Amino acid sequence: MRISSLQAFNNGVQGLQRNYAEAIRTQQQISSGNRILTPADDPVASVRLMQLEQQQNMLGQYKDNLSAANSSLMQEESVLNSVNNIMQRVRELAGEAGNGALSQNERQAIASELQEREDELLGLMNTRNARGEYLFAGFQGKTQPFERQADGSYAYHGDEGQRTLQIGSSLNIAVGDNGKKVFENITNAARLSSGWTEVDPANPVQPLAGSTLAFSAPLIQDEVTYSGTPAFPASGIVVRFGDPAAVPPEDPKEYEVFASPYTAGDPVLQSGRLDSDDARPDSFAFRGMTLQFEGVPVGGESVTIESIPNSEKQGVLDTIHQLRMALENNTDSPEGKRDTRSAVAAALTNIDHAMINIDSSRGDIGARMNVIETTLNNNEDVALVNKSVQAELREIDYPEALSKLAFQSIVLEAAQQSFVKISQLNLFDKIR
């Protein structure tokens, strides 16, 4: 086989270049610490590394979201804790106001502190977060959620939305609560009204001559019994006292309860009798509802108790406002004191309902913060595993690489020496 000098020279140069390139590549791997310098070095591992890098970036975003969610929930929990402290003080004031020995001036002094607590509570319910958005406005973060109306009542201008953040590949978590859920959707225990039964609306029945019977506002104290089986009649009830003029004569202190509207022959739902101590009020209870009767009936009186339209729920601020107005305006007359007792009883029950609702929201926040903590730990574990897998795929094995570089250096030196000798083997050298 004939090999020209040019062919031998080219083959030698190509071998030197190939061996040199391999040695340089190994040296670059050692200096960078990476086994894969280009996707061509290991296509399968390169694709896997890209996937792990994408997952690592997502975990970084989830970590930022977890931090933001935790900060938002911590702020909400702090606000609700302050709200709860105010509610406890308001409840104490309501209990003090229920003391029948207080004068109107003393009740007005309590009302003055209630006004301050009411304003303080309004400020907390309109709290903004670090981005300047209202904390309890739902999705309407730029709209002030709670506003005092001209008549002293309060209106909610937010919505019922609940903001969420993604903290995992398939996990979202709520980072706040709307004000309607926390402060407005409070069961109203004073959603019933009481009054003398009207046979003809144009000529309402007034208390009968000689009767001193009076009654307080009804109050729902047992929601389970009120809505249980049998439930409180949706149309209301009528309490009828015995008529001495009936045949046979009836005891005027005895009463019977019927579903409203009453017609002769209706079934009796409950019956009872006022006690003999006319100086003390008598408590009347029917399917979760309570009411106080005072005075002495002459017989034949009829009292209707029915629901007040659109009063199923009542906000925290409206409850405090109504109590404050009762303390400011009710006089020391028997009727005024009775109205004050009714307002205090309604306020105490509604405040208890509100505190239960707020505590429930705080419990939800605690549960979410536990989820955040658990998810953060899980994401950190996954990130650690990802880095370990990336290291196995990308990083070089230094002992193996150094051994390989030493071997390649020997091969390169041998190729260089052999090339020098081969390049001297030509016809002209022999002729000389």
Q: How would residue 393 be classed by pLDDT, with cut points 50, 70 and 90?
A: low
On whether both 43 and 177 belong to a single domain, the answer is: yes
Output the six-digit token pair for 16.
């030197």
For position 94, what pLDDT does the model report?
A: 95
Same domain as 210, residue 95: no
Whether 18 maps to a domain, the answer reads no
Is 107 in the same domain as 180?
yes
Do 233 and 342 belong together in one domain? no
Q: Are residues 296 and 319 in the same domain?
A: no
Quote the CA–CA distance of 250 and 326 in Å, as a whole number: 38
Q: pLDDT tens digits for 76-121?
A: 999 999 999 999 999 999 999 988 888 888 999 999 999 999 999 9
pTM of the model: 0.79
Output the domain CATH number for residue 185: 1.20.1330.10
Do 58 and 184 lie in one domain? The reply is: yes
Residues 150 and 57 in one domain: yes
- pLDDT at residue 78, as a whole number: 95
Q: State whether 321 and 349 are in the same domain.
A: yes
**pLDDT tier for residue 149 given thresholds of 50, 70 and 90:** very high
Q: 140 and 220: one domain?
A: no
Model confidence band, residue 200 (pLDDT cutoffs 50, 70, 90): low
Q: Which domain holds residue 185?
A: 34-191+311-395
pLDDT in tens, 339-355: 999 999 999 999 999 99
Please state the φ and ψ torsions of residue 165, each to the nearest 5 degrees: -130, 145
What pLDDT, on the 0 to 100 scale, is given for residue 100? Answer: 82
Q: Which two tokens stand for residue 194?
A: 């009481």
Question: What is the CA 407 to chain-centroid distance, rounded?
Answer: 67
Looking at the domain assignment, is residue 405 inside a domain?
A: no
pLDDT of residue 215: 94
My answer on whether 347 and 206 are in the same domain is no
Same domain, 183 and 60: yes
CA-wise closest residue to 188 among 324, 318, 59, 57:
318
23 lies in some domain:
no
Number of domains in the chain: 2
Arithmetic mean of pLDDT, 406-421: 67
pLDDT of residue 7: 66
Q: Is the pLDDT of residue 45 over 70?
A: no
Using alpha carbons, list the distances in angstroms from residue 5 to 14, 416, 421: 14, 17, 13
Tokens 């981005």 found at: 131
The CA-based dihedral angle spanning residues 239, 244, 245, 249, taken in that order and rounded to the nearest 10 degrees: 110
Q: Are residues 56 and 182 in the same domain?
A: yes
Report the pLDDT value the prediction gives residue 246, as an integer from 0 to 100.
Answer: 82
